[in-house]
Structure 1
């Protein structure tokens, strides 16, 4: 019996370790002392923010490739240089001159205005990033001292949905799409839609986890009150 149990356990270990990696492996980072100041939710929010920003950079790269006139508006010599400038603005929380010092949803509205004449790709992606970061309290790495509001993050997810819909449906003053994105004609290309979907999904999951965190804390408090009467020591004399 012991031998059979051990064999079964080893079989389970082998099947677990042999998971296919043809399409990539799970990425992990080395533990640091800063991790000790993070709860599970803090870590999840940090990883989600990092992934969302990378999704936005991929969207910007795709949009620049389909709309090369946009990166030229910003004075960059190449698309690669335009991407470097955009990433620096997002990560440095700097303002974009084309957005007239507007931030988050106000900047997003301007970037989707048909009369906007600046680099629409940079303005759109920067505004989306600013909207998401603002919903997280203005930071991108989260620790025990940081508070996250589930409703604000949920609202950010809805804003991303609205922005994606407006991008695919609005036209400029000449009747052309504001930016060429998804293609549904000869060669079907919905990679933009998938990237937006990833961002929305991450934000919704974090909002649900935050809401559940406080709900479970309340349930745990009530359970402790109800269970206290059954956890008293009994007399032995």
Structure 2
């Protein structure tokens, strides 16, 4: 009976939040249907997505010739356009690819001829959102899996390694990120990846502690580079 009462309360609050406002939640009312942990989850998700947007901007700036729409819009407009789309937006060139991590691999495949930065970021975004069960708002009865969050952090590590190491047959990096030999050392990409990894790991520990569960840990080995399931 207790859970049934909570369910009725949440449904009532969410219904009140959306009625008379064209389906948009009113912040003050919708917050009543959130617990403190729900707000913590949203803050972490917003943080990791902000870092992903920053990564996309920097990769386009570092690899201007890879941007498919460089002749029609600015880098900032390209990035905003990408993130304004729903995470399940269908890109025709990747419509048949089921796993987000396969899109990441495609972006760093020498045979790929498209916008590598876009593919890389789309793959990461889909993978990260999957770790939140594709929710962008969280309420009392919304739950996420700490193992998925942890696995996503390890997958970011793998994606970062691939970005730094993947080269074509002539030995050229497929996408430039960190500084090359002879350039001023640039650790900004490592810092972005580090923040994304820390955000996902931190939230995984918070959720694990809340649920009283243990996270199954893995050591990412460069030799295997097998993405973990989400």
Relative to the length of structure 2, the TM-score reads 0.74
Alignment partner for residue 197 of structure 2, among 172, 197, 200? 200
What is residue 206 of structure 2 aligned with on the other side? 209
**Structure 1 equivalent of residue 9 of structure 2:** none
User: Which residue of 138, 141, 155 maps to 1:145?
Assistant: 141
Would you say 1:93 and 2:108 are equivalent positions? no
Alpha carbons 1:171, 1:177 under 8 Å: kept: yes
Matched, 1:170 2:166: yes
1:92 positional shift: 5.0
Higher deviation after alignment, 166-175 or 51-60: 166-175
Distance in 2 (CA, whole Å) between partners of 1:176 and 1:187 is: 19
RMSD of equivalent CA atoms: 2.1
CA distance in 2, matches of 1:131, 1:74: 26
2:187 is the alignment partner of 1:190: yes
Runs of 4+, deviation exceeding 6 Å: none
Structure 1 residues 127, 74: CA separation in 2 closer, same or farther (over 3 Å shift)?
Answer: farther
Q: Shift in Å at residue 76 of structure 1?
A: 4.1
Q: What does 1:81-160 correspond to in 2, within 5 Å?
A: 81-89=77-85, 91-102=86-97, 103-160=99-156
1:20-54 deviation line (CA, Å, top 9, x unaligned): xxxxxxxxxx9622122122221111111111111
Secondary structure of 1:72 counterpart:
coil
Considering fraction of residues, name the structure with more helix: 1
Q: Quote the offset at 1:81 in angstroms.
A: 3.3
> Given the two structures, how large is their TM-score scaled by the length of structure 1?
0.72
Larger Rg: 1
Instruction: Say whether the 8 Å CA contact 1:74–1:119 is kept in structure 2.
Output: no
Can you give the 5+ residue segments of structure 1 that lack an aligned partner in the other structure? 1-29, 217-237
Number of corresponding residues: 186
CA contact (8 A) 2:104 2:124 kept: yes
The superposition leaves residues 167-190 of structure 1 with CA deviations (integer Å, 9 ceiling, x where unpaired) of 001112432111110115431111
Relative to structure 1, the CA distance from residue 179 to residue 49 in structure 2 (aligned partners, 3 Å threshold; closer, same or farther) is same
Question: Which residue number in structure 2 is paired with residue 180 of structure 1?
Answer: 176
1:54 to 44, 50, 54: 50
Distance 1:98 1:74 in 2: 19
Per mean C-alpha deviation after superposition, the further-off stretch among 74-83 and 179-188 is 74-83
1:228 is aligned to: none
Question: Counterpart of 2:40?
Answer: 44
Distance 1:31 1:140 in 2: 14
